[in-house]
Structure 1
């Protein structure tokens, strides 16, 4: 199916190590192979210096925040290896402290002074040599141009640029605000993971059958807000594709790599 190309902003991010935690895992902390939408949005909020309620700001009053919420976003990525780290997590609750040291005042174990709180052994899955590809489409193209400039020169960022854990810093490898996406069908193994959302953005005349997508169902976090001191997450239904795609049509970036790359854009307005 042919039609007018869709103009997009493409951002390629590199991380030596990364962990995108599945929220329902605890003692063994599993990682998504690519970050969920809420994680990427948080990265972009940092770039745009959008601060939240915890810092005494109302993000809803920020015009860039409203524009970012309306952006269509697609996420793909790959990693080379996965390792599992074994570490101690510390719980500073009073009950856990007493359980470990015997009293609220105790701070020694085997004659050695230690930090307060209890300890819990945890396994953490860590992805190595990670590359994430993010696509953004917006009705206000001037917003994408400004976002492109901020990513290339994040002089107003509030934190160092990271994706996932705060220690998982990123290197911006490439930013291109003039990517043309064509709607087409192409069967191939694209060697990337993709989020394929049920609420998919389609160009005029485009059609898509979510049931034909091969992948694992997830309720993926795409937005959160602070309510009474805790995060209130909103979720969307999506399938996690391992890159082997057939019998469906999609937006396609022919300029990426040797095979090109399918682009599945979450449409938050649907």
Structure 2
């Protein structure tokens, strides 16, 4: 089975949790919807492309970034927030804009190993667009730059012997029910009902490197690295 294997590096990244408002909390790895959305954006897709994703990675440490967020009271506002901090100029008294401090959690020194499964022609087009891209890549927020260190098609096959995860990973909950993990309900794809996004969720466990995978709990690529796709959902 053909799969696109990607190795990425990010100096800093925030994969913000959907319901994190007063503090910008981050997932420890990019959720499936972030990787899927990045792939769709690269392909200029105007429809959902069936695919599965395996997400593994690690980071050096976690930082806290202090930011000022501007909140617009109305949709159409003539005012524009100009940052005057440190310039010795009296701050402007905005009439239609509020501001509030926000702490954002950042992962530092992020290494990612991603596998994307889709129809082979889709994977080849995605590989070509990554290799010929003329703009920088971002994964997570726009400012979370990503360097692609490896991008190639690989063959994946059944896991025949016990295999140890070399990196932290998202693993289907059914495979880690009786092992140490952090449970997450990750977004995958959405439909719009009455103007509101309704997400399909995927149940996973976030596990640390060193977890043993048994045959039937994953796949392996041609470099011997384990591949753990999420459970197949209705497309």
TM-score range, shorter chain: 0.7 to 0.9
Partner residue, 1:197 = 172
Partner residue, 1:268 = 233
TM-aligned CA deviation for residue 20 of structure 1: 0.3
Q: Could you say if the C-alpha distance between residues 185 and 29 of structure 1 is closer, same or farther in structure 2, counting changes exceeding 3 Å?
A: farther
1:87-126 alignment runs, 5 A limit: 87-93=67-73, 112-115=91-94, 116-126=96-106
Partner residue, 1:3 = none
CA contact (8 A) 1:37 1:223 kept: no
Distance 1:10 1:213 in 2: 27
Return the structure number with greater strand share.
2
Give the TM-score of the pair, scaled to structure 2.
Answer: 0.81
Q: Could you say if the C-alpha distance between residues 232 and 174 of structure 1 is closer, same or farther in structure 2, counting changes exceeding 3 Å?
A: same
The alignment of Structure 1 onto Structure 2 pairs a total of residues equal to: 219
Distance 1:81 1:149 in 2: 33
For 1:149-195, what per-residue CA distance to the aligned partner results, in whole angstroms no more than 9, with x for missing partners? 1221236xxx85211111112121111112434413435362x2211
Return the structure number with greater helix share.
1
Cα RMSD of the aligned pairs, angstroms, is: 2.8
Partner residue, 1:165 = 141
Pick the aligned partner of 1:130 from 99, 110, 115.
110
Q: Tell whether 2:127 aligns with 1:148.
A: yes
For 1:200-230, what per-residue CA distance to the aligned partner results, in whole angstroms no more than 9, with x for missing partners? xxxxxxxx74534531111101113455555
Q: Could you say if the C-alpha distance between residues 112 and 150 of structure 1 is closer, same or farther in structure 2, counting changes exceeding 3 Å?
A: closer
Distance 2:179 2:51 in 1: 23
SS in 1 for 2:226: strand
Partner residue, 2:159 = 183
SS in 1 for 2:129: helix
Q: Which runs of 5+ in 2 are unaligned?
A: 78-88
Give the TM-score of the pair, scaled to structure 1.
Answer: 0.71
Distance 2:196 2:133 in 1: 28
SS in 2 for 1:35: coil
